[in-house]
Amino acid sequence: KAGVTQTPRYLIKTRGQQVTLSCSPISGHRSVSWYQQTPGQGLQFLFEYFSETQRNKGNFPGRFSGRQFSNSRSEMNVSTLELGDSALYLCASSLDGAGGSPLHFGNGTRLTVT
Amino acid sequence: AQSVTQLGSHVSVSEGALVLLRCNYSSSVPPYLFWYVQYPNQGLQLLLKYTSAATLVKGINGFEAEFKKSETSFHLTKPSAHMSDAAEYFCAVSVGGGTSYGKLTFGQGTILTVHP
């Protein structure tokens, strides 16, 4: 079974621009979550989608948004980029997103904002 | 709210020695607990999970962890370290219920170094 696929692997953007990251979950997984990883703040939860609906959201500004398509693929968008948005963005999928369901992570998209 | 504390941001062992990575959690309801490993330039790989069945959980690559409710701990061990175990390890907690969909709360991570 193919794992979680994230594209692109690397991105370099300028302050003020916007960016879209893509995630394809494991086949059969309907829940997709997004995380931000930085050296200072560690791993932080952004949001979770299930059946095209956002069910849970972390403590991030509205510049961070996402969506999920009918095939469970997900995209994450960051608008008006700031230097502090430089991070590794990880997508994870699970069968149903419930507490006991383990998350399976992709290799991430490394975003650098200059 | 849940929280996780990993004691020791860096742990160094010799090849063949015992690996012990410490994790303490805080949760007002029964938790689900996980250990993940991250190699450079990669995502997180699930090592093992505790979901209220056996308190001693065996995972991949020879790792295991024991859930101790009285100590609110979930320490990760491996009897004999290999060079390939060098990586960063994360302990994480989640709970049931709608506010926890897709959400893991992670510790700050422990970087394991293995010396030949």
For A51-98, how does the pLDDT look when each residue is reduced to its tens digit (9 = 90+)? 999 999 999 999 999 999 999 999 999 999 999 999 999 999 999 888
pLDDT tens figures, A10-28: 999 999 999 999 999 999 9
CB within 8 Å of chain B, chain A residues 57-96: 58, 90, 92, 94
pLDDT tens figures, B22-39: 999 998 888 899 999 999
Answer yes or no: do B43 and A108 touch at CB < 8 A.
yes
Out of A43, A48, A100, whose CB is closest to B102? A48
Q: What is the DSSP string of A2-53?
A: ---EEE-SEEEE-TT--EEEEEEPPTT--EEEEEEEETTTEEEEEEEEETTE
Residue B19's pLDDT band (cuts 50, 70, 90): very high
Q: Which residues of A touch B53 (CB under 8 A)?
A: none
Residue B100's pLDDT band (cuts 50, 70, 90): confident
Answer yes or no: do B101 and A31 touch at CB < 8 A.
yes
- Return the pLDDT at B52: 78
Answer yes or no: do B102 and A42 touch at CB < 8 A.
no
Q: Which residues of B touch A89 (CB under 8 A)?
A: none
Q: What is the mean pLDDT of residues B81-92?
A: 97
Question: How many whole angstroms separate alpha carbon A12 and alpha carbon A95?
Answer: 32
- Return the pLDDT at B70: 92
CA distances (Å), origin A15, targets A46, A61, B11, B101: 20, 16, 37, 32
Answer yes or no: do B43 and A106 touch at CB < 8 A.
yes
Answer yes or no: do A42 and B109 touch at CB < 8 A.
yes
Query: CB contact, 8 Å: A107 with chain B?
Result: yes
